[in-house]
Structure 1
């Protein structure tokens, strides 16, 4: 498909990430999105809030309070059968996400849906054609979502095959532009240890498949012949097959984007437990959180060390004690603040709390239950993630820029609005024309400018039932 090669994400990287280059993405609001959607029956009160013509409800809250994707039973007919609960496999900062859900009891009939946060719709992806069934999608955290660099509003959903192997040779993908599944043979692929699945990220025009035991695999999915490269973890972090207890990896390791770069976080200083059902380890005073930043994926020195924070100093923080968090117990990793890589979130039971790692200070703590039917071992980085929200979901509030601390300059969920991509393009175009004479604009100036350009009134997606008639007319 030469047309796709011409639209290589490398060639269109400036178009796709120009907003990030300008620094706007650092000010985007975000939510701590729980990966397990909430499924409601028709009689449920939340089901009544799903507006006519829409498929989902997005329950947005300010972090560290959890946010949820709410689905009706018509999309997930039997959400609890055989533990095949629905699961969000990938998100994108454009306001799209991919989730899967079983469609009938007694079999593994799994459907994948592309959800649009703007319209609150969920479109089922077509099944993989019979001719390509041997490359069928697997319900694992190995599915990526990436935007076309020059086709606004279109995406590729992709998975490497074989999904669990020591070498991949094929890329299975679905294009929203062609509405078809297709297969690409990889031009090259490295040998590696048996690959696990700890998420897929769209970053720097590439897709990045993560196995936190070993490293990352990356390629440009828009190339005619993609070259798959292996980026190992920082020196000393790669694990041996014989000692990998994968049930614990999501508690102790994660790779997440933050401030436009990929960050690797690891809890060090803990022995590997022998009981796979045990809780996160307690006691060791030498346990610490370490972070590295990916600086050169193609060179000899891939990672740059950022910091090490001993838990003994975090436990001594007054905020930790006031939050009622248990002393001398090592928590599980949850996520990394997408706008401040010095802030890492952890789980202690159902408590989700943020820590400024450089100051060793607890910033906030809230209750975050992944699912009432799941065990506490699911309170890990596998089941919650930071989802950055697009500017099309913003209502600009200049007073938000005056907030102090690591959240400085961010906007709260109460400032969200719904808008179309076309509306945003128009606003941003006007803003560019107004700001051509200025070499640099502050965040407050940018927000004031957008406020002046924005429509005078917008309906909130979380208005009272009396506003439902107005919301039903939204695009």
Structure 2
């Protein structure tokens, strides 16, 4: 398996993807379920990354010693939210013995809902060194990887935060791991949803804030990272709750919300996208959060009938079917969201109801019927000084290892 891809990137390709690759930031679309490889590994190899020009899928690969268990839709290794700019990713994976006989890198299609009691663990996957480091276990087990995030620090270290709500309680526990100390600390925080269970639909980190997402209910926000670094165990701390836009709340546990909703960043804006019905016809809407006031402003609504009639959509040869939500474009100046349909990912300017691009999305796991915002995220690529030099020659090398996009 070749994890270092050397390929020249033409000026035409760079122009086509200018909104993904800006002067200061370069984005990839990361598939959240890694490829798991068996057999003897090269010396020093725990993980690697296969970069693809967006909107195609960039994939993380890890050795089976990191993620030994069989994959199912409710138990699989998972790349969680990360804003580390040093090439590190946070992976959650169930541990335990490898199944007999050894399994291929595929989803098991047997009965769902059975975890077999094996514990989960967090790993820091360094894509520059290709090594994975397991974080120490803490006093309570991991509940949901959708409640955790990795944040890089200015000193080159990192912090992992994990929200641990207690059902039926007005408080939750916020676990924090600081690479400088090498230990987990925790504190009690208020839990504004009170008796309502938290959906755990992901975490967004922006403007010195952590935003936990429940796609049926709203957001929970925490304070600045500087305060997290100076945390004193046991001190009570308030979380801020922001509901979804009016009319968007649904009962807890509503199924498949990640197929029709997502929360994500567009530059400095926190945005919410939702597929819904308007007078019986399918439509998709976008809102932007006023982060100080805690209120949503409506941006635009697009009818899928108008999107299907767009010349760009007809050129994709896709049928006129309602897709699932993938993600919000992190840099495009307009109101642009991406969707999955029949193993394709396509971007839509929602205000203009026009399709901007469409590509095959090579995400084998999970199977196509599960493709949704749960299994992809925009990932900002670390750019080294050597990469900046190579860009002047028309190439792109994001690390000293020489990994290049294709």
Superposed pair shares fold, TM > 0.5: yes
CA 1:321–1:29 in structure 2 vs 1: closer, same or farther (change >3 Å)? Answer: same
- Secondary structure of 1:415's match? coil
Matching residue of 2:58: 67
Give unpaired runs (5+ residues) of structure 1.
1-23, 272-283, 401-413, 420-458, 464-475
Q: In the alignment, does 2:247 pair up with 1:245?
A: no
Q: For the Cα contact (< 8 Å) 1:142–1:163, is it kept in 2?
A: no
Matching residue of 2:399: 418
Q: Deviations over 1:134-180 (max 9, x none)?
A: xx3224311122234xx512222112222555633321121111100
Structure-to-structure mapping, 1:139-150, within 5 angstroms: 139-148=144-153
Q: In the alignment, does 2:237 pair up with 1:232?
A: no
**Larger gyration radius, structure 1 or structure 2:** 1
Q: For the Cα contact (< 8 Å) 1:155–1:176, is it kept in 2?
A: yes
Q: Deviations over 1:394-450 (max 9, x none)?
A: 4453587xxxxxxxxxxxxx512314xxxxxxxxxxxxxxxxxxxxxxxxxxxxxxx
Q: For the Cα contact (< 8 Å) 2:276–2:282, is it kept in 1?
A: yes
Aligned-residue RMSD, C-alpha:
2.7
Q: Tell me, in whole angstroms, the C-alpha distance in 2 between the residues paired with 1:236 and 1:344.
A: 21
CA 1:169–1:104 in structure 2 vs 1: closer, same or farther (change >3 Å)? Answer: closer
Q: Tell me, in whole angstroms, the C-alpha distance in 2 between the residues paired with 1:100 and 1:61.
A: 23
Q: For the Cα contact (< 8 Å) 2:34–2:61, is it kept in 1?
A: yes
Report deviation, 1:194.
2.2
Q: Tell me, in whole angstroms, the C-alpha distance in 1 between the residues paired with 2:51 and 2:166.
A: 33
- Secondary structure of 1:97's match? strand
Q: For the Cα contact (< 8 Å) 2:81–2:148, is it kept in 1?
A: yes
Q: Which residue of 35, 50, 58 corresponds with 2:49?
A: 58
Q: In the alignment, does 2:289 pair up with 1:294?
A: yes
Q: For the Cα contact (< 8 Å) 1:156–1:173, is it kept in 2?
A: yes
Q: For the Cα contact (< 8 Å) 1:166–1:195, is it kept in 2?
A: no
- Secondary structure of 1:287's match? strand
CA 1:169–1:368 in structure 2 vs 1: closer, same or farther (change >3 Å)? Answer: same
- Secondary structure of 2:171's match? coil
Q: For the Cα contact (< 8 Å) 2:82–2:151, is it kept in 1?
A: no
Q: For the Cα contact (< 8 Å) 1:251–1:380, is it kept in 2?
A: yes
Q: Tell me, in whole angstroms, the C-alpha distance in 2 between the residues paired with 1:269 and 1:391.
A: 42
Q: Tell me, in whole angstroms, the C-alpha distance in 1 between the residues paired with 2:162 and 2:393.
A: 43
Q: Tell me, in whole angstroms, the C-alpha distance in 2 between the residues paired with 1:37 and 1:259.
A: 26
Q: Tell me, in whole angstroms, the C-alpha distance in 2 between the residues paired with 1:93 and 1:74.
A: 24
Q: Which residue of 241, 255, 265 corresponds with 2:273?
A: 265
Matching residue of 1:348: 341
TM-score by length of 2: 0.79
- Secondary structure of 1:141's match? helix
Matching residue of 1:212: 215
The structure with the largest strand share of the pair is 2
TM-score by length of 1: 0.68
Report deviation, 1:73.
1.7
Matching residue of 1:92: 83
Structure-to-structure mapping, 1:118-157, within 5 angstroms: 118-128=128-138, 132-133=139-140, 136-148=141-153, 151-157=154-160
Kindly tell me the number of residue pairs found equivalent between the two proteins: 354
Which one scores higher on RCO, CA 8 angstroms, separation ≥ 6? Answer: 2
Matching residue of 2:367: 375
Report deviation, 1:462.
5.5
